[in-house]
Amino acid sequence: MRKLIAFDDDTFDKLKQLGRDRMATIQELADEAFADLLKKHGIPIDLKDALRKSAASGEPPTQKDARKKKSRKSR
């Protein structure tokens, strides 16, 4: 999806120079910047990130829970 973003001349010149220094396009710089912004606010960037965050939000099993599961398996 295309969206227009306006930059003042000085900012755009600095972005172009940064792109040249890193051998990256303005689009690649924008992708990195928006990914960092989403990460800062805790919003998953892609499915892999969403699954990782979902798995981390659950409570980790305690030692007591692990023992219960083992004893059930042996029955």
Q: Average pLDDT of 6-35?
A: 96
24 assigned to some structural domain:
yes
Residue 33 is assigned to a structural domain of this protein: yes
Residue 66 confidence (pLDDT) = 56
Kindly state whether residue 61 falls inside one of the protein's structural domains: no
DSSP sequence for 3-47: ------HHHHHHHHHHHHHHT--HHHHHHHHHHHHHHHTT--SSH
Which pTM value belongs to this model?
0.62
Residue 39 lies in a domain: yes
Is pLDDT of 64 > 80? no
